[in-house]
Amino acid sequence: MILKVFRYDPGSGEQRYDRFPLMHRPGMTVLEALFLVASEQDDSLAFRYSCRGAVCGTCAVLVNHVPRLACRTRLEPLLRGEDLLALAPHPGLELGEAYSPDEEVLVEPLPNMPLIKDLVVDQEGFFSKYRMISPVFRPSGELPGKEQLMYPSAVRELETYTNCILCASCYAACPVNAADDEYIGPAALAKLYRFAIDPREGDHGSRFARADTPHGWWACRFFTNCAKVCPKGVTPNVAIGKARGVLEGRGKDSRDKEHSPATDSHVPRE
């Protein structure tokens, strides 16, 4: 097979595609293939990595035009034409380089972020939006000397969003993001929603209000690329829809008493 890789030389500004022929082992992932290239063919190839187990969010790249974690994406299903994702048009698709699907796997950097070198992009914009939503937990009232109680049902709902690993796959796949620099984006909005529904927090209104702007909750057009590419099953689109509902007075604010013994009484200090 051929690993077709986007190359960017920050010195000269040159952009090109290199084709690296590889003997692939069964089960080999895109990340392993990149390491094989770096160790045997070209040690100048730049790509990020850390856990190699799909939990740290470091290695997201475009694979065959779709944002994916390189460590979790296997070559064989791609070459067999399986493992396809139908996404709404986004920059990764639109500007995408051609490749022959039965012998090539195409690897490119995530779009919507400035290039640094080869597959490495500058994620500062992505994290500046994370900071913009003020992701700091603000419990209501005095902190007791024990845990604030919280029912498993509330945990289940929160986990849908706390599972986000901030890999920026959604940020790269979002067509709104591509068109609107100021859009807070799916990952940061999902994070904001996680705080807005935490039954241990006091001021849910200000959490929802924080993104009650044209570039916040209201910018999403529900293409749902975010949920489709998420490697952890997070659904920013659902969070955004629910947040809009709360702001429009439709939906239930999740600070619902039935979920939250903590809002009524704290466990006394020992």
Partner 1 sequence: MTEFLHRHDVLIIGAGLGGLRACLEVAGKGLDCGVISKVHPLRSHSVAAQGGVNAALGNAPGGENDNWEAHAFDTVKGSDYLCDQDAVEILCRNAPSAVYEMEHFGTVFSRDENGKIAQRPFGGAGFPRTCYAADRTGHNLLHTLYERLQEHEVTFYEEYFVTSLVIGKDRCSGCTALRIMDGTVHGFSSGSTLIATGGFGRIYSRSTNALINTGETEYHAFRAGVALRDMEFVQFHPTSLHGTNILISEAARGEGGYLLNSEGDRFMRAYAPDAMELAPRDVVARAMTREIEDGRGIGDGYLHLDLRHLGKSLIRERLPGIRLICMDFAGIDPVREPVPVQPAQHYSMGGIAVDTRGSTSLPGLYAAGECSCISVHGANRLGGNSLLETLVFGKLVADTIIDDNPGTLPRDDRVVHEAVSREETRMNAILSGDKGEDVHRIQSDLQETMFHHFGIFRNEHSMKQGLELIGILEERFSRASISYRGRIYNQALVRVLELEGMIILARVLAQSALARTESRGSHTRTDHPGRDDRNFLVHSEARMKEGSIEIGYTPVRLTSYPPKERSY
**Rg for the chain, CA atoms, rounded:** 21
The neighbour count for residue 252, using CB atoms within 10 Å, is 11
End-to-end CA distance of the chain, in Å?
A: 64
Question: Where in 193-232 is the site for partner 1 (CB under 8 A)?
Answer: 195, 198, 200, 232
Q: Candidates 13, 14, 43, 81: give the one binding partner 1 (CB under 8 A).
A: 43
Cβ–Cβ < 8 Å for 92, 173: yes
The neighbour count for residue 120, using CB atoms within 10 Å, is 17
Residue 218: exposed, middle, or buried by beta-carbon count in 10 A (0-12, 13-18, 19+)? middle
Cβ–Cβ < 8 Å for 60, 167: yes
**Of the two residues 112 and 148, which places its CB atom closer to partner 1 in the complex?**
148
CB of 270 to partner 1, least distance (A): 10
CB of 94 to partner 1, least distance (A): 27
CA gap 48, 156 in Å, rounded: 31
Question: Where in 53-112 is the site for partner 1 (CB under 8 A)?
Answer: 53-58, 72
CA gap 59, 56 in Å, rounded: 8
**Of the two residues 65 and 191, which places its CB atom closer to partner 1 in the complex?**
191
Interaction pattern, residues 141-160, with partner 1; x per rule: CB under 8 A? --x-xxxxxxxx--x--xx-
**Of the two residues 105 and 133, which places its CB atom closer to partner 1 in the complex?**
133
In one-letter notation, the amino acid at residue 188 is A
Choose one: 36-44, 81-89, 99-107, 211-219; the region binding partner 1 (CB under 8 A): 36-44
Binding site for partner 1 (CB under 8 A): 10-11, 27, 38-40, 42-44, 46-58, 72, 116-118, 120, 123, 131, 134-137, 139, 143, 145-152, 155, 158-159, 162-163, 165-166, 195, 198, 200, 232, 261-262
